[in-house]
A and B are shown apart, each in its own frame.
Chain A
Amino acid sequence: MQWNSLSEFLAMGGYGFYVWVSFGATALCLIGEVVLVRRRHAAVADGDGGGVS
């Protein structure tokens, strides 16, 4: 373990802003894409009245 405390971990040696925005944006994009694809799938599945989940 590289860190002695949570605040040290969050500070990332003074680069916290750059590191966390990078990781946060990546997480947001990946999760967002999954949500969009699921909605798209729900939309086509509903469209024909069929029983495809």
Chain B
Amino acid sequence: MSVTDINWFKYSSPQALYPLAGKLTPWFSALAVILMGAGLYIGLLLAPTDFQQGDSYRIIFVHVPAAWMSMFLYVVMALWAAIGLGLKARPSYMMAQAIAPTGAMFTFLALLTGSLWGKPTWGTWWVWDARLTSELILFFLYLGVMLLRTSIDDARRADRASAVFALVGVVNVPIIYFSVQWWNTLHQGASVSATAAPKMAAMMLLAMLIMSLGFWMYSIAVILARLRCVIREREERSSVAGQVERPVAVGGV
């Protein structure tokens, strides 16, 4: 191991992260449960029926938050990957590793609920249009990042390879986001935008925003919990050297 590999991040930060993540997880979990409960209550019981789409529109309360998280988490994952590459910071790679499965899950949910919304609204489960196709590509990008990591035995090479892959794939996110403007598509335009008045009733918008906030808190909680697993797994794998494992274990008690 060369001298340049021994840096502040490598030894002190996972030790600090492990107990911190453990302390934060219950708070974000509680926030997630409260927000999702409120969002479901408003969205399913209080929000009015849509005059065009009937009650099928209520799928929006899981579809849009899932789709937002799928894109947002990819950008955050790519950011941690970039920081990891730039600073050779192992905790950054650990964050990227912890984010990927949750991002993939939300991408899957966005596709599934979109399909379940498309059938009654458009009359088809799937079309190969820009929005749907680019979201499907996002799913494959997440899978690619995860598979690349598991297929490389050496942890540092796996970190770098999956980070580079994640960074290249980030160009897909603006394509997803702007696809409804750039191409003709069955998919409706943005439900919320900074420049235009909302096209939805206030109650619908409120439920959607609260659900999104709930999904966000859920993501933080589950990613921090997974980060702890990742830290433990990786310290155990590299514990032949023995420096890191004990402080981490002590920090977690």
Contacts and interface: CB of A to CB of B under 8 A. Distances in A.
Contacts of A41: 225, 228-229, 232
Interface in B38-54: 40, 44-49, 54
Contact of A29 (B46, B105, B233): B105
Contacts of B222: 33-34, 37
A15 B55 contact: yes
B63 to A, nearest CB: 7
A48 B66 CA distance: 36
Contacts of B95: none
Interface string B55-76: 1101100110010000000000
Interface string A37-53: 11011001101101111
Interface of A: 1-3, 9, 12-15, 18-19, 21-23, 25-26, 29-30, 33-34, 37-38, 40-41, 44-45, 47-48, 50-53
A15 B56 contact: yes
Interface of B: 40, 44-49, 54-56, 58-59, 62-63, 66, 101-102, 105, 108-109, 112-113, 116-117, 119-120, 218, 222, 225-226, 228-229, 232-233, 236, 245, 249, 252-253
B124 to A, nearest CB: 13
B52 to A, nearest CB: 12
A42 B249 CA distance: 14
Contact of B253 (A33, A34, A38, A52): A52
Nearest to B231: A44
B113 A2 contact: no
A34 to B, nearest CB: 6
A13 B232 contact: no
A51 B48 CA distance: 52
Contacts of A52: 232, 249, 252-253
Contacts of B226: 37, 40
A33 to B, nearest CB: 6
